[in-house]
């Protein structure tokens, strides 16, 4: 990710509709798991720490990121054990094993996602869980992907094969951000037609919209927490998965 985006991400991550709704969806899925109380939780690629409070409600959080400036923002939130590291070869915290790993929009940044997922699996206790999200559908590629240094977007079948090859038993895999799919897709495709999709000129989706619009988008997106895993969502801007070691 472009390090210049971290101050803006830290500023908006608690309130921006997309981050807030993603946390609500992830939290709802974690509520369905029979995690130990308290659980030992690993968050590789924690960024500026937007998930930390949500995860800390479930146990002790050990978070890592490769960028020191991102970790400084995460440290300001307090409560988690933080360390600089990277996947697949530099996971800190000695040889500690975890009940849960959470990776929200991480592996699309990596050159070797399979090796990264295998490394995370090796740090899970037997029966431990992974919660994973990624951007979906390569044809939605946009300036946002370029600015965020994404390597790829995924189809559901690709993510399924990746998790299986990493040794996980998949218990849930679904598209999400489905209810807002058509307006988001229209904006991205129109932008690509008008400007192209590979400028990498710093454009991003991290600006907070006027409060009423931001709240409305968050409510619509977060409502999918009641659908995921219960109702098939055949398409979406992103993918979400639960796997077990």
Please count the structural domains in the chain: 1
- Which are the contacts of 141, defined by CB distance < 8 A and separation ≥ 6? 153, 192, 197
Per-residue pLDDT, 202: 52
Element of type H or E holding 104: strand 98-104
Based on its alpha-carbon atoms, the radius of gyration of the chain, rounded to whole angstroms, reads 17
- Give pLDDT tens digits along the chain (245 positions): 777 888 999 999 999 999 999 999 999 999 999 999 999 999 999 999 999 999 999 999 999 999 999 999 999 999 999 999 999 999 999 999 999 999 999 999 999 999 999 999 999 999 999 999 999 999 999 888 988 899 999 999 999 999 999 999 999 999 999 999 999 999 888 877 776 555 545 556 788 899 999 999 999 999 999 999 999 999 999 999 999 99
How many of the other CB atoms lie within 10 Å of CB of 80?
Answer: 21
Per-residue pLDDT, 88: 96
**Dihedral of the alpha carbons of 41, 46, 49, 55, in degrees to the nearest 10:** -20
Cα(15)–Cα(7) distance, rounded to whole angstroms? 14
**pTM of structure:** 0.94
Residue 181 maps to which CATH number?
3.40.50.150
Which residues form the domain of 173? 3-244
């Amino acid at each position: 990710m472009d390090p210049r985006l971290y101050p803006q991400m830290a500023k908006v991550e608690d309130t921006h509709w997309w981050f807030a709704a993603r946390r609500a969806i992830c939290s709802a899925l974690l509520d369905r798991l029979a995690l130990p109380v308290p659980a030992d939780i690993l968050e590789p690629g924690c960024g500026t720490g937007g998930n930390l409070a949500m995860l800390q409600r479930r146990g002790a959080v050990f978070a890592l990121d490769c960028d020191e400036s991102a970790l400084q923002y995460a440290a300001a939130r307090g409560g988690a054990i933080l360390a600089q590291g990277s996947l697949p070869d530099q996971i800190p915290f000695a040889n500690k094993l975890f009940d849960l790993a959470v990776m929200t929009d991480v592996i699309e940044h990596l050159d070797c996602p399979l090796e990264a997922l295998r490394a995370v699996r090796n740090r899970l206790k037997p029966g431990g869980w992974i919660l994973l999200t990624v951007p979906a559908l390569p044809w939605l590629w946009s300036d946002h992907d370029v600015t965020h240094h994404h390597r790829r977007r995924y189809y559901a079948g690709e993510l399924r094969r990746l998790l299986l090859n990493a040794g996980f038993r998949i218990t849930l895999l679904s598209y999400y951000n489905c209810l807002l799919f058509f307006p988001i897709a229209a904006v991205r495709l129109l932008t690509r037609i008008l400007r192209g999709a590979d400028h990498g000129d710093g454009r991003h989706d991290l600006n907070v919209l006027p409060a009423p619009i931001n709240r409305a988008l968050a409510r619509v997106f977060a409502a999918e927490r009641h659908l995921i895993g219960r109702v098939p969502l055949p398409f979406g801007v992103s993918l979400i998965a639960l796997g077990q070691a």
